[in-house]
Amino acid sequence: MTDGQVEIEISRDAGVQTIRIQRPEKKNALLPAMYQAMYEALVDGDESSDVRAHILIGSGGVFSAGNDIKDFMSRAKDGVPQVGETPVHRFIGYLPRVEKPLIAAVDGLAVGVGVTLLFHCDLVYASPSAKLITPFLDLGLVPEAGSSLLAPRRMGHTRAFEMLALGEAFSGERAREAGLVNAVVAADELEATARAAALRLAAKPPAALKIARDLMRGASVDEIVERLEAESKLFAGRMASPEAKEAFQAFVEKRPPNFNAL
């Protein structure tokens, strides 16, 4: 679907649903309507017998720059509702509940939620130009989407801290070494690689696939949801904090933030 501000393209073929972020002129930065479209696509796909696997992919050589900065700044100024009350929270809150295999194809820049959503994926493929950045602390915020729980488990504490707290950018290869990415493939082969994996999964016995996936993921869903809700409350408080306001004001004024004066 691509309708007005909903710049998300949904396609289904041979049991695979592809969710493509189509806002390359803004580095695929996400607006509320885009979160809502992705949430609805995942829910609809999970409920449809025609879908056996989901693929998340960007466009224009970019995966996603995360939240649209203008929307983010507006939320920082006004505060944000608690979990479940916005399209952002609906999408993020559904990630640990996705019932069918979720595959990501990451080309170029991935920022913020464009990175943290990857921890909910069953398979992640990246191009050599992939660059994963989580600047939450630089904005006076905290990690989200369950990443404070999932990143240390997947990558180990030191590498997760390097990504989420230090804000170090990870290349596709570094993310592969850390256990977040399955393989780094050429950009012109990225979508085909993700689709080939999705088609292999789509051809498997669906009930057996669901049981196997649930055995590997199901026991931790409640714990992830609990952490998501805790992060959301802390994130909401931080959005209205003096540190976040200074970080966003500094961004607007194109200067380094000064947190010592707060």
Q: Which residue pairs, CB below 8 angstroms and at least 24 apart, start in 195-201?
A: 195/16, 195/18, 195/55, 197/103, 197/123, 197/125, 198/15, 198/16, 198/52, 198/53, 198/54, 198/55, 198/101, 198/103, 199/14, 199/15, 199/16, 201/52, 201/53, 201/101
Residue 160 has pLDDT above 70, yes or no: yes
pTM of the model: 0.92
For the chain, domains (ranges, CATH) are: 2-185 (3.90.226.10)
- Residue 219's pLDDT is what? 65
Rounded to whole angstroms, the Cα distance separating 127 from 61 reads 9
CB neighbour list of residue 62: distance below 8 Å, 6 or more residues apart: 24, 27, 28, 107, 108, 109
Which pLDDT tens digit goes with each residue over 102-132? 999 999 999 999 999 999 999 999 999 999 9
